Structure formats: C-alpha cells, structure tokens
Amino acid sequence: MKHMTNKTNLSELSDFEIIELYPSILKELKARGIIRTNNLIGELGEYLAANAYQKNPKLPNLQLNIKSTKNIDATSNKGERYAIKATSGNGTGVFASLPTEDDGKVYFEYLILVRFNKDYTLDSIYELTWEQFIQYRKMKPPENKWNLPITEAVKAAAKKIV
C-alpha cells in the first residue's frame, strides 16, 4: 500500500488500496478508544452520544459500559442506565435481550437514538424515557423482538440532543 501522507486523495488509491484502508481505520479507531469492537456504526453511535452528553453541561456525563453489559450501553454519573441505538434507517435494530412479554421491569431509564444520514454523517441524537420506548416500540418479524420505528411522533415526543 502507498505510504499515506497527512492528506491523501482517496481517489488516487487503487480499489485494493481503498479496501485495505478499512482494517487500518478500525485498528486506529480502537487504539484511540473511539470504538471497542468491529461494529462500526453501533460503536460510533455510542461514542457520539457520550461525547454529545459530555459537551452539554445540562446533560449528565455518560460512562460507556463494558460490552458484555446486558440491555444497557452507558451509565450516567447519577447511576441512570442508558441504551444507545444507532441507525441510518427509519428504525432501530432489535433489542435482542429484552423479553417479548411485559414483566414490569425497567431495563433502562433512557434510550438514546443516534441517527446517521445515508452517507453516515451524524443527523441527530434523540433521548426517550423507558416509558416512551414502551409506548412506541413495535414487535419486529421475523426476529420476534422489539425495535423502535423512528416516526415523526417518536421524534416529536423525544428530547432532541443534537
């Protein structure tokens, strides 16, 4: 691969050289602590959400949890639990570990939605309460798991962070 200068014109690289960039980018993002796994979109969503909360003095600071924490991705300095979902579409992925039947338990206090544009630039960040999540969630076939369609009603009800 060509030695990259500070400002390499990507269009000058061959197809193979462009493909080779991806693992290098993942490695560097991990080294910088921006991502922790190869789930690039989910990890960038978590990083951008935590960063947005940290920059806003009216919001709590979030500490990203270790990856094996079930149902929650971050905890606030007040001990509140946050699930974070990132998407470039009109709905979240499924909440794989949430039960399909209501058991009366609260699995997180807040859900943060990180929305990307189709080119994966940041579009917006929204926050919903557990109660709002329960109100708007839908069962997604064929997985038979909950997801959250991001409708105009959801955006209107949610607190817009960015």
CATH number for position 54? 3.40.1350
Domain span holding position 60: 40-160
- On average, the pLDDT of the chain sits at 91
Lowest-confidence segment of 11-15, 110-114, 126-130 by average pLDDT:
11-15
> Amino acid letter at 98?
L
Phi, psi of 59 (to 5 degrees): -110, 155
- Which of 96-100, 131-135, 145-149 has the weakest average pLDDT? 96-100
Average pLDDT over residues 69-80: 90
Residue 14 within a domain: no
Q: What is the pLDDT of residue 3?
A: 47
pLDDT of 1 above 80: no
Residue 17 to residue 1: CA distance in whole angstroms: 6
Distances 1 to 6, 21, 28, 30, 112 between C-alpha atoms, Å:
15, 9, 17, 21, 39
Q: 131, 129, 122, 133: which is closest to 92 by C-alpha?
A: 133
Higher pLDDT, 69 or 111: 111
For residue 44, is it within any domain?
yes
Q: Is the pLDDT of residue 95 over 70?
A: yes
| 137 located within any domain | yes
Domain count, the chain: 1
CA 131 to chain centre: 20
Give the mean pLDDT of 77-103. 93
Look up the pTM and report it: 0.86
Q: Would residue 19 count as lying in a domain?
A: no
Does 138 map to a domain? yes
Query: CA torsion sign, 64 to 62 to 162 to 29?
Result: negative
Q: Mean of the pLDDT values across residues 2-26?
A: 80
Q: Which residues contact 104 (CB under 8 A, 6 or more apart)?
A: none
- If residue 29 lies in a helix (H) or strand (E), which one and from where to where? helix 15-31
Query: What pLDDT was estimated at residue 158?
Result: 98
